[in-house]
Amino acid sequence: MNGKRVKAWLIGAGALAPALALAHAGGAHESFSLVEYLGRFHPVVIHFPIALMIAAAFAELLNLILRREPFSAAARFLVVLAALAAPVAVSLGWAAESTLQFSAEYQGVIETHEGLALTATGLAIIAAVLSELGRRRNDPRLIQGYRVALLAAAVAVTATGFFGGELVYGIGHYRP
């Protein structure tokens, strides 16, 4: 085979590869499920509510200890972001759950994970509302309620992540 023929074969093969890939993607497209696809983003989003709730609680703790306004302002901002991020994580979690199959031994883990996630989300929303109301009305009882709800949300979301890890990496994953 001369040089020109080899080139022609290579160009032909190069054009065929994307065509085959597109045909394959077309086949996959037929069974495309938006819910299943969205569920794949659950592990991408979950870091936000986890980090935001813990960071908000830490900032409020620093405010309590050091009595510095910037920590209070940071906690106020972070708790609102956490209250917005958590429902997104929950929705994508439901999408993931509805399309994945879990064996019987994982049923307890997924139910605990879901229950803790809903608890953490509810608490974060309550904390954000109490934080805003407490500041606007200058009511110390509402501010105290916000602090309790925020601390509980941070604990609940940490436990949520713990059970999420067991779902993905296996029961007993954290055993030393």
CA neighbours closer than 13 Å in the CB half-sphere of residue 121: 17
DSSP string, 35-58: HHHHHTTHHHHTHHHHHHHHHHHH
In angstroms, give the least distance from the CB of 98 to ligand HEM. Answer: 8
Return the residue of 117, 127, 142, 149 that touches ligand HEM, per CB under 6 A: 117
Rounded CA-CA distance 65/120 in Å is 24
Site for ligand HEM contains 120 (CB under 6 A):
yes
Rounded CA-CA distance 86/82 in Å is 6
Site for ligand HEM contains 49 (CB under 6 A):
yes
Radius of gyration of the chain (CA): 24
Site for ligand HEM contains 157 (CB under 6 A):
yes
- In the bound state with ligand HEM, the residue whose beta carbon lies nearer, of 2 and 101, is 101
Site for ligand HEM contains 150 (CB under 6 A):
no
DSSP string, 139-166: -HHHHHHHHHHHHHHHHHHHHHHHHHHH
Site for ligand HEM contains 168 (CB under 6 A):
yes
x-marked contacts with ligand HEM along 76-115 as a string, rule CB under 6 A: ----------x--xx--xx-xx--x---------x--xx-
Applying CB under 6 A, which residues contact ligand HEM?
39, 42-43, 46, 49-50, 86, 89-90, 93-94, 96-97, 100, 110, 113-114, 117, 120-121, 157, 160-161, 164-165, 167-168
